[in-house]
Amino acid sequence: MPMATINNNGKIQEATCEQELAAIIDSLEILGGKWKLRIMRHLNNHASETNTFKKIQREVEGISSKMLAKELRDLEINLLVTRTVLDTRPVSVSYSITEYGLSVLPVNEVLVQWGLNHRQRLRLS
Amino acid sequence: MPMATINNNGKIQEATCEQELAAIIDSLEILGGKWKLRIMRHLNNHASETNTFKKIQREVEGISSKMLAKELRDLEINLLVTRTVLDTRPVSVSYSITEYGLSVLPVNEVLVQWGLNHRQRLRLS
DNA sequence: GTAACCGGTTACCCCGACGTAACCATCATG
DNA sequence: CATGATGGTTACGTCGGGGTAACCGGTTAC
């Protein structure tokens, strides 16, 4: 039994149950883990600034250069982030959230809401 | 800078950026991983039936009894699922999604939508 | 009594995410 | 020429999620 979903253009997509499962796996793979959403949130919250590698590393608490480089590469591959080499001396590299990357924000928001709500629920129960 | 979120009762909650980060971590911890959402989806899609341990194991493809027992325990601790021992012969145990567990469905849906959309986006690009 | 079904549990293993630390090339400054 | 900043990379180790298989106690059916 296919189910309805809304795509980019607001059109209706049909998806089988297996396709939905695959979609969830994709989402968790691409957005899950310890750092991906933190980085996306940070880039979004500081979208008006120039976010160089070192600046991000200073401001995203606890991340190592190895992890930051890897996560940014993954996000770039998935078109969520752009990498721009600036011709400053010494050379610096700026990362920005793409317009498509903004599509992650609702996912972020739902997870935030559910998590906050869940804390409250457990405290009450 | 606190941000607004909607809680159980539709009231507005304030949360700091760190609280939001913690909330995301919570959500991914409780709903993430390979099996949690699959089980929740299955219980919801078969809410009208009696979902015994073995029945779930047969229908959630690929899960072992060890993982199923662990995941169901976790979900029960988080009040998302109830465990009921039936006095059939031999004894069987039925699991159901709780009313609170239904709050997971929007999270599920957002992940499905984003994943489907992302596949399409990568194919087009 | 033995086979089969139920709902698990236990022991063991593997791999990938993630952490830490050191290192590297390039350029600028003193 | 040494120091510091930039943006990484590499080697190594740890830990936990997850897989596999065997086993268990209780009960019923043959």
pTM for the full predicted model: 0.91
Per the CB < 8 Å rule, is B13 touching A107?
Answer: no
Q: Check residue A78 and report its DSSP letter.
A: T
What residues of chain B lie within 8 A of the CB of A107, using their CB?
Answer: 110-111, 114
Per the CB < 8 Å rule, is B118 touching A19?
Answer: no
Per the CB < 8 Å rule, is A24 touching B108?
Answer: yes
Using C1' positions and the CA of B85, the closest nucleotide is: C7
Nearest-angstrom CA–CA distance, B55 and B67? 15
Q: Does residue B14 sit at the A interface (CB-CB below 8 Å)?
A: no
Confidence class for position A8, pLDDT limits 50, 70, 90: low
Nearest-angstrom CA–CA distance, A27 and A22? 9
pLDDT per residue over A60-84, tens digit each? 999 999 999 999 999 999 999 999 9
pLDDT, average across residues B45-65: 98
Residue A120 predicted with pLDDT over 50? yes
The residue lying closest to nucleotide C19, measuring its CA against C1', is A64
pLDDT per residue over B5-48, tens digit each? 445 555 546 789 999 999 999 999 999 999 999 999 999 999 99
Q: Does residue B103 sit at the A interface (CB-CB below 8 Å)?
A: yes
CA–C1' span, B25 to C9, in Å? 29
Q: Does residue B105 sit at the A interface (CB-CB below 8 Å)?
A: no
Mean per-residue pLDDT of chain A: 92
The DSSP string of B8-56 is TTS-EEEE-HHHHHHHHHHHHHHH-SSSHHHHHHHHHHTTTS--BHHHH
CATH topology for B35-124 is: Arc Repressor Mutant, subunit A (1.10.10)
pLDDT per residue over B115-125, tens digit each? 999 999 998 77
> Under a CB-based contact definition with an 8 Å cutoff, are residues B67 and B36 in contact?
no
- Higher-pLDDT residue of A8, A118: A118
Residue B70 bridge partners (DSSP): none
Using C1' positions and the CA of B65, the closest nucleotide is: C8
Domains in chain A: boundaries: 1-31, 35-124
Per the CB < 8 Å rule, is B23 touching A111?
Answer: yes
Residue B65 predicted with pLDDT over 50? yes
- At residue A13, the pLDDT reads 64
In this structure, of A10-14, A19-23, B106-110, the range with the lowest mean pLDDT score is A10-14
Nearest to A45 by CA among A104, A110, A93: A104
Q: Is the CB of A123 under 7 A from strand C?
A: no
Residue B4 predicted with pLDDT over 70? no
